[in-house]
Structure 1
């Protein structure tokens, strides 16, 4: 429901909110420029200021001070009213006080859309929409991150979705403040707030005398300039009139004959709060805050654009319709890294719904049995990432699951998705099952698995589910057609021919896309180094995945491929010539990339595992400490990326490079050079360093053993590093 509210409010109010935001951004510049050009502030009293102004302009009627400190005097030139900015040091005019036509135009647009009171109400509606969007966006960010405690962690995802999340996190505090203060100011304008103290009743009796020198009035002598708002002079020749003084503390009248305070009202909480919120909203008196709010508002059109792009892209996908969690009798939670598990969840939902079962589908990160008032069964469909770790949409699930009491009357079924060729096959799902059995959950079905997204395995599991529910149905899953692109080979570099181990670095051009294709999500997806490209070889429908050595920002797609004996895909790729194309798609690999920040990164790889690590180094324009440990066969035949690595070491993108050659005169493997450099590695880990490992399974196992030995004296384990998000593998 929160997602729908956020989406439709955003789409409907996009134009109005964008107009308000952009005009607010433009207006935020004026307080800053005003603060820069104001005459220097003086530590003087209002009495001194008023005397100086009166000496320079005897016809002065009023002096005002803006929150930014600008002093303005209103007086007459002949019989014509005039106003000027005043230098408080001399009391003389130094500039025209009239608001520029541009600022007036922007102010009217921002406050009322040139529609007076009706326009103010429309703008207030825009502020309310903004408040709804910021609050719902905040909840969605927390849900996407896996809980409020993870909301400040780096945004996951790719393309417009990731950009939307990153900008939202930066802009939401400012947008929330702007919308709340705007609604308060509107309520104050239309009298919906409690009454402020205001001015006291004008006194019925005054001294009747006139002409007291303003510099001698005690009240004005005791009032510093930086706390007063305005001073109005009595009308010339009117002995019944008085001075009117407004300050931050209140408002009152001063006798023009003897300087005595005739009446005074202290400002109440409404006055003080309204003044404070007005300052926050406009930046008057806090120019730096105004600029920050302006920058936050500038994010609105970007958020609108990226939000629209995400929505348009999602329209083309199969629509997932599920009832709310509070109304569902069956809860299906999904743990997915690349998104394919969601397709199986949709097949399950649609089939069960056809049987009259009320199903709610959501990510495992939303696990919260307290909200499932009518739920009878919980079904977990989850993939496994890496070496038995949680996929993106299940972050934080296992910890919450272990600490959540078993709910009576709620049975549980767990189905794992994975690839049997990996040692940690469905490891995360198995960990959940072990925790569930240990806590005594009632199991609806025994733990089961689906190998390589097999529809047959899923259908087999579905027959068991149907029997357990006493129903008759089949889970006929039809995998969604992959969204592929044609990538044309730009260049290739070949290695290893002399040792009969052909390896190639292949660089492909990115497909050209029109602006409309980019907006609607039909262009090739955004990717980063470390993500995966799935190549569909001729004669097969099963994609093979390769780690990317480049990002979209590099302007090309690059992979490192070794020809495998009898390998269908690797054989076709290593036979490509420039100009030829492959059919492929990109899949995010969100857990395998350097974390944000400046802490050290240790890159460890062997063979073609150098690919993504080279991509990380290429992208290290900020020159964070990044150390590469790389193992290969022989420097004469397998020195992959040798020239680039040398350049990156020279320009600071790599702080250190250590290599091991297994077929040289002094053979060594990458784990050997790790042990030789144990002291430095220990210091890097102690400094908060992150470890990224890419290559074959045997190499990864040797690296893990070496690192465990190195870290043991520090009392640090790889399990701890993994739990902290500081150790990740991409192995094959």
Structure 2
């Protein structure tokens, strides 16, 4: 597009021939105003900047959380674990995050430019020429300065009015701005972009994809995955919100002779804990089952403490056990409380059941006696879980009928 005497025209970039007046379509104008300001002027532009900031923070924090879940940065691209929603969410995140980070960070930069918080280098203009070559105007196709500019680098081309014999052509490019003589086609003045302007031009191209069709395509694909990311993220949030199941006969913490504490990142460990709770309750025990973060300073009647916990990522505590070790330091359990720790995990990870081992060591350091040695369940292995149940039944001297668990 080019400006000519106040009008905006469509021009053939190969020949310079005028193709007609340019007027942006109503739909594209609507989309532009929605994207830049939500149809609300400066207030909308501010909101757009905040949205870019939020998107950048969500994207970056999502990468950190994914790396933590996968067991470190080196395993960031390894096969995902978890239920279907978690696997789809991880896959969608890997595909969309590069584009989202690029668009949000560049959008945040451009928002800062809009409000004068970041210098874009546009204040420095080339000196307007005092003399021009007299004579007939050269054809656009013969303008040497214009012919030397790659079309991808062209930002703005403005022609003077036809009757203005002393007028000059204003040419703005990705590398600099200047004025071109209408008669000779040579530069009359040129100002190379400062570093600030170069940064702006680079960010502008990265954000819009102008001149880089492949970048536009990749960013478009990344953005198209966002609905899947939102849906799976909502499902995961809802699953965690409803993580703790309704347990039959769950007595108060101070009335229980058996306390079952659960550390879980998803609903899987809770499924096993529910089976243990029901089996002990059916065997006549007063059972209190809760999250590991619900550890009490003391349990007045508890004789045994059973801890069922998963390990998150590279040996970390799952969400429902994040405060357990800190709370344990202030708990008064002692040798009268016998403990058994059952760890759940995936042996494909280097830190298989590492958090369960930390819990076992911490309980031993707290002076608790051992009901059963640490045992582990690899990827929901029903046989390993059943064997642990048999060992527990033998120690308690009762028959425990653990219901099969499917995860």
User: Using CA pairs below 8 Å that are at least 6 residues apart, which structure has the higher relative contact order?
Assistant: 2
Secondary structure of 2:116's aligned partner: coil
Whether 2:177 is the aligned partner of 1:251: answer yes
Question: Taking structure 1 as reference, are residues 244 and 198 closer, same or farther at Cα in structure 2, changes over 3 Å only?
Answer: farther
Query: Which stretches in structure 2 are left out of the alignment for 5+ residues?
Result: 246-261, 277-288, 300-308, 330-338
Over the aligned positions, Cα root-mean-square deviation in angstroms equals 4.8
1:271 and 2:225 aligned? no
Aligned twin of 2:250: none
Q: 1:239 to 1:346 in 2, by over 3 A?
A: same
**Aligned counterpart for 2:374 among listed residues 387, 391, 415:** 415
Contact kept in structure 2, 1:147 and 1:396, CA below 8 Å: no
CA deviation digits over 1:329-374, x for unaligned, max 9?
xxx977999414677994554234557xxxxx873534379x99x9
The residue number in structure 1 matching 2:111 is 186
Partner of 2:389: 451
**Cα deviation, residue 543, structure 1:** 2.4
Instruction: Report the Cα distance in structure 2 between the residues aligned to 1:245 and 1:380, rounded to whole angstroms.
Output: 77
Q: CA contact under 8 A between 2:263 and 2:292: conserved in structure 1? A: no
Give the TM-score of the pair, scaled to structure 2.
0.66
Could you tell me how far apart the structure 2 residues matched to 1:352 and 1:453 are?
26
Partner of 1:131: 56
Determine which of 398, 403, 407 is the counterpart of 1:543: 403
Q: Distance in 1 between matches of 2:185 and 2:265?
A: 77
Aligned-residue offset at 1:119 = 0.7
Question: In the alignment, which residue of structure 2 is the partner of 1:205?
Answer: 130
Tell me the CA shift for residue 186 of structure 1.
1.1
CA distance in 2, matches of 1:255, 1:95: 24
CA contact (8 A) 2:382 2:404 kept: no
Residue deviations 1:512-541, cap 9 Å, x none? xxxxxxxxxxxxxxxxxxxxxxxxxxxx96
Contact 2:138 2:184 in 1 (8 A): no
* Equivalent runs, 1:357-506 vs 2, <5 Å: 363-367=311-315, 381-383=341-343, 391-392=345-346, 395-397=349-351, 411=365, 415-417=374-376, 450-451=388-389, 454=392
Correspondence 1:79-98 to 2 at 5 A: 81=7, 83-84=9-10, 86-94=11-19, 97-98=22-23
- Give the direction of change, closer, same or farther, for the CA distance of 1:172–1:216 in structure 2 (3 Å limit): closer
Distance 2:395 2:348 in 1: 22
User: In the alignment, is residue 162 of structure 1 matched against residue 100 of structure 2?
Assistant: no
What SS does structure 1 have at the residue aligned with 2:313? Answer: helix
Say if 2:98 is the partner of 1:173: yes
Aligned residue pairs total 343
Per-residue CA deviations over 1:48-95 (Å, capped at 9, x if unaligned) read: xxxxxxxxxxxxxxxxxxxxxxxx34447xxx94623x3344444557
TM-score by length of 1: 0.39
1:350 aligns with 2:294: yes
The answer for unaligned runs of 5 or more in structure 1 is 1-71, 320-331, 356-360, 385-390, 427-448, 459-539, 546-586, 589-732
| Conservation of the 8 A alpha-carbon contact between 1:244 and 1:252 | yes
Distance 1:142 1:260 in 2: 56
Residues 96 and 411 of structure 1: CA distance in aligned 2, closer, same or farther (over 3 Å): farther
Say if 1:351 and 1:131 are closer, same or farther in 2 by CA, change over 3 A.
Answer: same
Measured in 2, the distance between the counterparts of 1:218 and 1:417 equals: 76
